[in-house]
C-alpha cells in the first residue's frame, strides 16, 4: 500500500529556510540531537535551572496508607486534593492536642 503525502514540502522547506537555526553556540549550524558529539558539547556548556526555595514552610514527603475507597474519593475531588488533606489534618491537630 503506497500513500502519497499531501504536505506541501516546497512550502515547508521555504519556511524552514526563513527561520533562524537552533544553535547552541556560534560554531554550529543546527543542533542535531542524534549527533552524540553535539549532544555532549551542548551539555558541557548547559546550565541547569533549579527551583528556588519554597516561600512557605517546606513540606516533607512521606508515605501514608488510605483505604482504597477513601483515596479514590480524595482523588475524585480534583486537583489540590493533597493540599486539602493537609489542611484537614492541620485543623484536626488544632482540636486534638498532643498528649506527649
Q: Over 90: is that where the pLDDT of 3 sits? A: no
pLDDT for 67 beyond 90: yes
Whether 69 is covered by a domain: the verdict is no
Residue 68 lies in a domain: no
Cα-based angle 73, 74, 78 (whole degrees, multiple of 5): 105
31 in Cβ contact with 42 (< 8 Å): yes
Q: Tell me how long the chain is.
A: 100
39 located within any domain: yes
Cell of 32: 542535531
For 26, the domain range is 9-45
How many domains does the chain fold into? Answer: 1
Q: Select the more confidently predicted residue: 45 or 81.
A: 81
Residue 23 covered by a domain: yes
Query: For a pLDDT cut of 90, what percent of the chain falls above it?
Result: 34
Examine residue 82 and state whether it is found in any structural domain, yes or no. Answer: no
- Residue 35 falls inside a structural domain: yes
66: in domain: no
Residue 64 lies in a domain: no
Amino acid at each position: 500500500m503506497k500513500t502519497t503525502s499531501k504536505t506541501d514540502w516546497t512550502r515547508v522547506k521555504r519556511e524552514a529556510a526563513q527561520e533562524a537555526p537552533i544553535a547552541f553556540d556560534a560554531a554550529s549550524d543546527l543542533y542535531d540531537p542524534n549527533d552524540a558529539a553535539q549532544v555532549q558539547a551542548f551539555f558541557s556548556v548547559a546550565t541547569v535551572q533549579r527551583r528556588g526555595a519554597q516561600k512557605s514552610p517546606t513540606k516533607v514527603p512521606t508515605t501514608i496508607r488510605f483505604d482504597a475507597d477513601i483515596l479514590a474519593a480524595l482523588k475524585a475531588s480534583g486537583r489540590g486534593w493533597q493540599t486539602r488533606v493537609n489542611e484537614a489534618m492541620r485543623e484536626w491537630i488544632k482540636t486534638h492536642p498532643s498528649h506527649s
